[in-house]
Amino acid sequence: MPATSGLIEVELLRHTFGGSSMGRLADGRAVFVPYALPGERVRVELTEEKRGFARARLVEVLESAPQRIIPRCRHFGVCGGCHYQHLAYADQLKVKNEVLREQLQRIAGLSDPPLEAIQPSPQAWLYRNTVQFHLDERGRLGYEEMNSNRVVAIEECFLPQPPLDEIWRQLDFEAGLGIERVGLRVGADEEVLLILEGQPVELPALEVDLPISAVHLSPAGSIVLAGEDWLPMEVNGRLFRVSAGSFFQVNTAQAGAMVEYLQEGLPLDQQTTLLDVYCGVGLFSAFLAERAARCIGVEVSPSACDDYAVNLDEFDGVELYMGAAEEVLPGLRLSGKVAAVIDPPRAGLDRRALDALVALQPGWIAYVSCDPATLARDLKRLLEKGYRLEKIKPFDLFPQTYHIESISLLRRTA
């Protein structure tokens, strides 16, 4: 269907997952508008039309909601990195609880989900230990626009921790070097690692007069440009080796809060085998391994597996399988009691991984999720296979954005 030309007025009705508010077009179709709020009357331009719904760009707020506040960042509304700067932090938390509840009701079919209060981030700004920039056509650092690959060069950003904020402003790249992404991560003692990704025509000469490490990552491998290719990261007093290519939770304080929740909520004992599926560098294994008879990590990334081997070296009874969960789990044979922590990427649990996990009959599953929609889909499947959702707690790892992290504790009943 062609996009309707001209501007239209819409009243917004509710928040949706993804940061947009939803209203109705005159023909009854839902329309999703980023940066707008329920209760607002807005003027929009339709940017995408489908048979059942449309997306629109906010042009003007005609009547604003009482919750609307002035965003802190000058790029808000263009840059796709933040979605809720027009809401006070307390209101952002309410929205996330509401959106998670709606997803659990509508997709998982849980009429009254056992949802606990969201755990706020101790810092609503300057909380990220890692940032990833794209480069615009002039080599300037920026972020992608909402629903687009276009890069907006930025002059300010209030999400990275202060040591990163000082550094990114000093970075400048010649266009045409083949660098696609520029990452920065800050670790314990404020050590910083610069991660350049792409297929370079030539490796960039680093002209940053700062004591930082720098690595170039490409499908061909990693090349150290300065210092080391890993950082020490500290969570709840424990140090982790984290290589440039390995995943690590971006909100260190909240990673610690999630660890504590698992330590308190996941029943383990010396007769139980703990499966840590999608284990990364071993964040959860390192805090839980001692409480179980055996701990088995499953992880597909070679660099995360190398880090896991170092980070879990001090413990007995720890094994690691490098491979995709959907390939590894069907081959596992376990006897005795089993418990599992699963922490998949946004796509959620592959169907084969889910079936194989259930076949291992874990008495408890702790599902750590960064996407409520795929979580709700997978919970529905787990409930059908005899699990009961005992409780679910959201953790706000990503203030100012629509992303919702949560931990669900499921118990086997059949």
Ligand X SMILES: C[S@@+](CC[C@H](N)C(=O)[O-])C[C@H]1O[C@@H](n2cnc3c(N)ncnc32)[C@H](O)[C@@H]1O
> Does residue number 130 form part of the binding site for ligand X (CB under 6 A)?
no
Cα–Cα nearest to 121, from 152, 93, 160, 149: 93
> Is 321 assigned to a binding site?
no
Using rule CB under 6 A, residue 84 touches ligand X:
no
Taking CB positions, which residue lies at the least distance from ligand X? 280
Q: Is 343 annotated as a binding-site member?
A: yes
Cite the active site residues: 370
Among 279, 296, 312, 338, binds ligand X (CB under 6 A): 279
The size of the interface with ligand X (CB under 6 A), counted in residues, is 19
Select from 7-15, 191-199, 214-222, 281-289 the region that touches ligand X (CB under 6 A): 281-289
Q: Does 371 bind ligand X (CB under 6 A)?
A: no
Judged by beta carbon, residue 155 or residue 314, the one nearer ligand X is 314
Instruction: Name the minimum Å distance from CB 343 to ligand X.
Output: 4
Stretch near ligand X under the rule CB under 6 A, chosen from 74-82, 186-194, 292-300, 398-406: 292-300
Among 44, 95, 110, 283, binds ligand X (CB under 6 A): 283
Residue 226 makes contact with ligand X by CB under 6 A: no
The owner of tokens 């202060």 is: 162
Quick check: 284 binds ligand X (CB under 6 A)? Answer: yes
Asked if 191 touches ligand X (CB under 6 A), the answer is no
What's the rounded Cα separation, in Å, for the pair 303 and 305?
5
- Of 20-28, 94-102, 263-271, 277-285, the window that binds ligand X (rule: CB under 6 A) is 277-285
What span, in angstroms and rounded, lies between the C-alpha atoms of 267 and 10? 50
Which of 61, 300, 360, 373 binds ligand X (CB under 6 A)? It is 300
278 annotated ligand binder: yes
User: Which residue's CB is nearer to ligand X, number 195 or number 325?
Assistant: 325
Binding-site string for ligand X from residue 323 to residue 342, where x marks contact by CB under 6 A and - marks none:
-xxx----------------
Question: With binding defined as CB under 6 A, does residue 374 bind ligand X?
Answer: no
Residue 223 in contact with residue 237, Cβ under 8 Å?
Answer: no
Residue from 40, 191, 343, 378 that binds ligand X (CB under 6 A)? 343
State the nearest-atom distance from the C-beta of 312 to ligand X, in Å: 12
Which residue number, 21 or 311, has a Cβ lying nearer to ligand X?
311
**Shortest distance, CB of residue 340 to ligand X, whole angstroms?**
12
- Choose the binding region for ligand X from 25-33, 50-58, 64-72, 296-304 (rule: CB under 6 A): 296-304
- Segment lying near ligand X (by CB under 6 A), choices 104-112, 215-223, 293-301, 378-386: 293-301
3-state SS track over the chain: CCCCCCEEEEEEEEECCCCCEEEECCCCCEEEECCCCCCCEEEEEEEEECCCEEEEEEEEEEECCCCCCCCCCCCECCECCCCCCCCCHHHHHHHHHHHHHHHHHHCCCCCCCCECCCECCCCCCCCECEEEEEECCCCCEEEEECCCCCEEECCCCCCECHHHHHHHCCCCCCCCCCEEEEEEEECHHHCEEEEEEECCCCCCCCCCCCCCEEEEEECCEEEEEECCCEEEEEECCEEEEEECCCCCCCCHHHHHHHHHHHHHHCCCCCCEEEEEECCCCCHHHHHHHHHCCEEEEEECCHHHHHHHHHHCCCCCCEEEEECCHHHHHHHCCCCCEEEEEECCCCCCCCHHHHHHHHHCCCCEEEEEECCHHHHHHHHHHHHHCCEEEEEEEEECCCCCCCCCEEEEEEEECC
Instruction: Give contact residues for ligand X (rule: CB under 6 A).
Output: 247-249, 278-281, 283-284, 298-301, 304, 324-326, 343, 345
Binding residues for S-adenosyl-L-methionine: 249, 278, 299, 343
